Structure 1
Amino acid sequence: MASFLSKLFGFSSGSSAEASASSGKTETYGDCLIRANPMREGAQFRLAGSIEKEVDGVVRVRTFIRADLFSSEQDVIDATLRKAHQIIDQHGPSLFSDDAASRQV
């Protein structure tokens, strides 16, 4: 009974495993590296990923998390790659023009 209540209120180690990111897929688009990092939330996956680019010898990372939830891990990976392509196309060179090594987009 105590085990059930612990899981119900998030006091078990299982809840932290669900919150961690799943292993994703990487893809090169233009001169950027895209990493799909779907986040498991219960029985669903949240769209999350990062875009990396080397600028003047320094790797700059732009991460993104969206509200979209998917029931299939493959569906969220495909959607993450499409969203990253859209972000790169919309922002162009300004995506990495600041001096920040890492930031959210």
Structure 2
Amino acid sequence: MGFFSKLFGLDKSEPKAPDVEPIEYEGYLIYPEPIAEGGQFRIAGRICKQYGEEVKTHTFIRSDLLATKQDAESFMVNKAKMFIDQTGENMFR
């Protein structure tokens, strides 16, 4: 039955989000989440910061495509650090 449920769209289980290990930088958590696209990887990710009980998130997707997932993750982390240094908490406004 499981095969037919998936085949006909009857599988109601929620898709599992990929587990991403965040990188901590200046009190922010950086989550590199490259997007596979046409055999390459688009630079994408999230920057999060905890404010008491609330977590604020800034999500971004760049137009850059790189050949490997590791390159896209590394580039995203570097860009995120630069963005944090330049904008700080203003990114959440």
Same-fold call, TM cutoff 0.5: yes
Q: Which amino acid in 2 is paired with 1:89? A: D
**Which aligned runs of 4 or more in structure 1 are off by greater than 4 angstroms?**
21-25
Structure 1 unaligned blocks of 5 or more = 1-20, 99-105
User: In the TM superposition, what is the alpha-carbon distance from 1:22 to its structure 2 partner?
Assistant: 6.5
Change (3 A) 1:83 1:22: farther
> Kindly, what percent of the aligned residue pairs are identical?
39
1:70 corresponding residue in structure 2: 66
RMSD: 1.8
TM-score w.r.t. length of structure 2: 0.75
The 1-side partners of 2:20 and 2:38 are apart by 17
User: In the TM superposition, what is the alpha-carbon distance from 1:29 to its structure 2 partner?
Assistant: 0.4
The 2-side partners of 1:93 and 1:30 are apart by 11
Change (3 A) 1:54 1:35: same
TM-score w.r.t. length of structure 1: 0.67
User: In the TM superposition, what is the alpha-carbon distance from 1:23 to its structure 2 partner?
Assistant: 5.7
Which of 74, 84, 89 is the aligned partner of 1:88? 84
Equivalent positions of 1:20-99 (< 5 A) are 24-96=20-92, 98=93
Change (3 A) 1:22 1:38: farther
Change (3 A) 1:52 1:25: same
The 2-side partners of 1:44 and 1:22 are apart by 18
CA contact (8 A) 1:23 1:37 kept: no
CA contact (8 A) 1:22 1:38 kept: no
User: In the TM superposition, what is the alpha-carbon distance from 1:56 to its structure 2 partner?
Assistant: 3.1
Aligned residue pairs total 77
What SS does the aligned partner of 1:40 have?
strand
